[in-house]
Chains A and B, each alone.
Chain A
């Protein structure tokens, strides 16, 4: 635990101690509790370099990424190119070189885009989680900061696997807001339902506009938050089920989410389809207008109904 953030100038050269590969840093991409990620170039190829503050976490991540490479299906995480040590001023800094995924951090994308997109991303995420769980791991530290929306294609991908844990072991890394233990709603044992809880929290976070701290009665507080958020109304039962750990698999939750999203009113459903396929780009403009109209009409009807009901 050195505690200090790495700050290297662009152009800094890194030479691996063991594999002797050379990297030149271009700029800092991100920084977290476990390390700092730089965009770098090696042999004319762009890649992401993660300099580890906590070596154990890096090793864990590398082990998981290696495991994925043996799988035949689509890549779950970024491909791993190299894993080495860098001797810098008498210090040894562990690092790994990974595929550079260009995109927007999900924390930003979720704030900027409509709530419809949040559902789409979550459906995609659940699909990824399903494969991850099938390979014997859970992601554990699931939060928007660890997810990225790939630039062309609007696909969500997990980027930071430092917290990934073998199913059956105990969770090493977590963020309080997305941790079911923090809310008193379950153990920190690595099982699929641990990730699904975090998925529900991502929805709540996106719908209520930010994280909040727990109060004296965390479970009631969560239920109240979900009930208060109008955008979560159609998904209430799914969220409750995920929060209480009653989904056995990511696939089960994904199917529930998809069918609920499709069941909603026609205009917004068409809208979503077009968004996903991203083919009719020129038409999206009038698509937006009609969607807005439909949404505001629906909202007005909803408010009127509520008013009538309460009176």
Chain B
């Protein structure tokens, strides 16, 4: 089986967008291009005002074919790495389900197999999740209300790279913050195999009142085009190597 590359957008936000395109529509558009959109909503207390943010978080992930998870700030670290990994498994399972439907007919999915066979299929899913290459574009909402949560977000992202770099497959990350200084979105880290450079990325952020989630997702979707081009330039595989391969 030829291994492909899984492409994900990871959106970390705490509330409602209020500028630009409809974020769910943009997520659906990303999905059409083979990119999964996962959303983590950092909501510390649930009240009436938050419920709209909650709905938006869910609808973006649904439209983007990904996973959404609402967490409190202190649980962020474990959640970020878990959501990313679960989304990978989900995507791989989706592909396998499609193959199975071809064999078993319309209703065949992994869940419909007897436990013994399901176990074997999951072994393959695991194996693929371990060896497939992964591109993650991280989008962090840095609007005023997120400001105090940013140090935790940074830690959570470092933790995620720690978990992912233990895989055999290669990883690529890029990091966008929104709202940006002049534009809707600013790229702070361009595609690279590690996120070491984010240490200081969060320091020089000004606060803005707007939250252009839609445009941010659009920009993130475009960024996957850049990586395709970069891969053409760097035919030398070593540049992306970040772990032993077998």
Contacts and interface: CB of A to CB of B under 8 A. Distances in A.
Real binding pair? yes
B159 A181 contact: yes
Given A176-B78, A181-B159, A187-B166, A60 B85 contact: no
Given A56-B89, A170-B130, A176-B78, A83 B115 contact: yes
A172 B164 CA distance: 10
B20 interface: no
Nearest to B93: A56
Contacts of B59: none
B122 A59 contact: yes
Nearest to B115: A83
Contacts of A55: 111
Interface size class of B (residues with CB under 8 A): 20 to 34
B123 interface: yes
A168 B118 contact: no
A59 B166 contact: no
A245 to B, nearest CB: 14
A192 interface: no
B46 to A, nearest CB: 14
B89 A169 contact: no
B144 interface: no
A242 to B, nearest CB: 19
Interface size class of A (residues with CB under 8 A): 20 to 34
Given A84-B115, A172-B85, A181-B162, A63 B123 contact: yes
Contacts of B159: 181-182
B168 interface: yes
Interface of B is mostly: helix
Contact of B168 (A63, A168, A187): A168
Given A172-B85, A176-B78, A85 B163 contact: no
B78 A60 contact: no
Contacts of A84: 115
A59 B77 contact: no
A62 B116 CA distance: 9
The CB with the most chain A CB atoms within 10 A, among B163, B165, B166, is that of B166
A131 interface: no
A59 B130 contact: no
A169 B114 contact: no
13 contacts: A1-B67, A1-B86, A55-B111, A56-B89, A56-B122, A63-B119, A83-B116, A168-B168, A168-B246, A169-B167, A188-B162, A188-B163, A190-B166
